[in-house]
């Protein structure tokens, strides 16, 4: 809970910085390169200016902070400092806010070797959204550890037992409530699984609600909070059942994603270090 609060606070701080930057230097960003030196905002908002340079330092710090997540996955002694899921949330936060601040630092001017790092950074950020989507499709425990097919089957069995024992749902009625339309493993179904799953999950929620109405559960004076809990458990049960069938597919997609994501990340970091080193060598040390 505390990490969600911290990320919310950090997000609000970054948002305030972005709003201040756009409001204070908005005209400067949209002025041509030849006219910018004549504007009052030039000295403060150019990449080497007080504010522009500060945005670059903050953005670069956030981008370099992305490496901490990779270290956390490999160094076992760091496991006592929060779950992998929590570290991933910070990783995503830095992966979104860092590039935005660096864009403001560059004043939307991309050329030379830095442009390679910039577009690599954009590729890392965009592919990060895809990676996050694939990541959440693989069922995990609360600490972020991946569940095996056996563990998923055990969880499914536990959910089924809860519906029968705790909520007293008849076995035949439960089988009818379960929407069994597992997609066969064909090229078409793989396309559907990857691209249509979010839409199908919304449709699934609607279909579960319709079946609960037709099942007669609503006429048994069951409290509304229990009906909502039954709906939630049914949804978990069906999604887990579907994901067992698509587990191999998402493992392969996650592997291919790493093959594409990592080279861009390495290029971005290497050129970023060269850029920072050259900046310091030329004497641009900001306020230090």
Same domain, 112 and 162: no
The predicted model scores a pTM of 0.76
Same domain, 104 and 240: no
pLDDT tens sequence across 39-94? 888 999 998 899 999 999 999 999 999 888 888 877 777 777 778 888 888 999 99
**Residue 163, exposed/middle/buried by CB under 10 A (0-12, 13-18, 19+)?**
buried
Q: Return the pLDDT at 211.
A: 84
Q: Is residue 38 part of a domain?
A: no
pLDDT tens sequence across 197-233? 677 778 888 888 888 888 777 666 778 888 889 889 9
Same domain, 121 and 197: no
Q: Return the pLDDT at 7.
A: 92
Same domain, 133 and 267: yes
Same domain, 126 and 104: yes
Same domain, 14 and 156: no
Q: Return the pLDDT at 184.
A: 44
Q: Return the pLDDT at 143.
A: 67
pLDDT at 246 > cutoff 90: no
Q: Mean per-residue pLDDT for 234-244?
A: 85
pLDDT at 173 > cutoff 90: no
Apex 19 CA angle, 17 and 22, nearest 5: 105
Strand pairing partners for 146? 140
Q: Return the pLDDT at 150.
A: 85
Q: Mean per-residue pLDDT for 247-260?
A: 86
How many domains are contained in the chain?
2
Measured distance CA(67)–CA(95) in Å, rounded: 10
Same domain, 122 and 161: no
Which range marks the domain in which residue 195 is found? 149-255
Same domain, 219 and 136: no
pLDDT tens sequence across 24-35? 988 888 888 888
pLDDT at 118 > cutoff 50: yes
Q: How far apart are the first and last CA of the chain?
A: 36
Q: Nearest 5°: phi and psi at 267?
A: -60, -45
Residue 117 Cα distances to 63, 84, 201, 230, 245, angstroms: 12, 28, 37, 50, 39
pLDDT tens sequence across 181-193? 544 444 445 555 6
Q: Return the pLDDT at 44.
A: 92
């Amino acid at each position: 809970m505390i990490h969600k609060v911290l990320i919310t606070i950090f997000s609000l701080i970054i948002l305030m910085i972005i709003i201040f930057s756009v409001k204070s230097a908005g005209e400067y960003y949209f002025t041509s390169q030849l006219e910018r030196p004549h504007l009052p905002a030039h000295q403060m908002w150019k990449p080497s200016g007080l504010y522009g340079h500060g945005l670059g330092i903050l953005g670069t710090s956030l981008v370099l902070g992305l490496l901490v997540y990779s270290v956390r996955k490999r160094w076992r002694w760091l496991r006592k400092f929060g779950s992998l899921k929590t570290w991933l949330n910070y990783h995503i936060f830095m992966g979104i806010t860092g590039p935005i601040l660096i864009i403001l630092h560059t004043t939307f001017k991309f050329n030379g070797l830095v442009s390679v790092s910039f577009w690599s950074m954009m590729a890392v950020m965009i592919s990060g959204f895809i990676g996050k989507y694939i990541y959440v499709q693989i069922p995990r425990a609360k600490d972020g550890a991946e569940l095996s097919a056996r563990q998923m089957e055990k969880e499914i069995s536990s959910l089924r037992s809860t519906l029968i024992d705790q909520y007293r749902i008849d076995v035949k009625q439960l089988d009818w409530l379960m929407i069994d339309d597992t997609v066969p493993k064909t090229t078409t179904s793989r396309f559907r699984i990857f691209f249509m799953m979010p839409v199908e999950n919304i449709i699934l929620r609607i279909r579960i609600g319709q079946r609960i109405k037709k099942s007669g559960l609503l006429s048994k004076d069951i409290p509304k909070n229990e009906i909502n809990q039954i709906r939630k458990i049914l949804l978990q049960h069906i999604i887990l059942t579907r994901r067992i069938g698509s587990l191999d597919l998402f493992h392969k997609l996650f592997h291919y994603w790493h093959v594409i994501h990592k080279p861009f990340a390495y290029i971005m970091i290497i050129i970023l270090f060269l850029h920072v080193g050259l900046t310091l060598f030329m004497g641009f040390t900001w306020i230090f």
